[in-house]
Structure 1
């Protein structure tokens, strides 16, 4: 993965999620501004876009300029990290894990008993974020 960004008209929440995920995975965060998806896909093979929608926050993963995975962020929790910083992500979503597990981003798979798919990661300044995801077909 080479980039995490937001929609053109982002919200503080989508920016916080995108920045923290970029920090955790060790990739670049790009404030979207006037950058178009075509421009971004020309420079990056793999990128994630977070955008606010009525039903929640949509996370779309693009590979080679095409959307390959979509998840609705049903719930997000930001807390204070206890203990040491952990680089990478922890997830019960095997599809996201397989895409992000490129050797540079450590992926720890969890088996959560809840129905939701979870994605959690450590951000800067002792933040810890957990996202409850739902598959979108």
Structure 2
């Protein structure tokens, strides 16, 4: 099962994004606390860590204990969801989509490249989150 967590010193924004992504993907959310990455990687083959990096948020995807994908969250927008709740994610980033699609997360791909890379998902309590991403590696 996939796990979504934050850095040890997370901010309310990174926690909210991580919790909502876990909700949308059907993953487990773990408040990091004193859990080390080594401990987490022993229990989970796939996990995502959100951490604050100055004014941006860094999203790192780990597979089998090794970082396999890093994205900088350049901006995030939280709005009110219109209509029905949709489980899964909508993204223009094929790499993230393929990693999450391999699990139990439904992925909708879009080729809307005018806006660059984005990741969009529905959270609880009628929240809808859109993350503008930038490739790091």
**8 Å CA contact 2:25, 2:89 repeated in 1:** yes
Give the secondary structure class of the aligned counterpart of 1:125.
coil
CA distance in 1, matches of 2:128, 2:28: 19
How far is 1:55 from its partner? 4.5
Q: Deviations over 1:37-87 (max 9, x none)?
A: 000000000000000001400000000000000000000000000000000
| Root-mean-square deviation (Å) | 1.0
Unaligned runs of at least 5 residues, structure 2: none
How far is 1:102 from its partner? 2.3
**8 Å CA contact 2:48, 2:59 repeated in 1:** yes
Aligned residue pairs: how many? 137
Unaligned runs of at least 5 residues, structure 1: none
How far is 1:114 from its partner? 2.0
TM-score (norm 1): 0.97
Q: Deviations over 1:96-115 (max 9, x none)?
A: 00000025210000111325
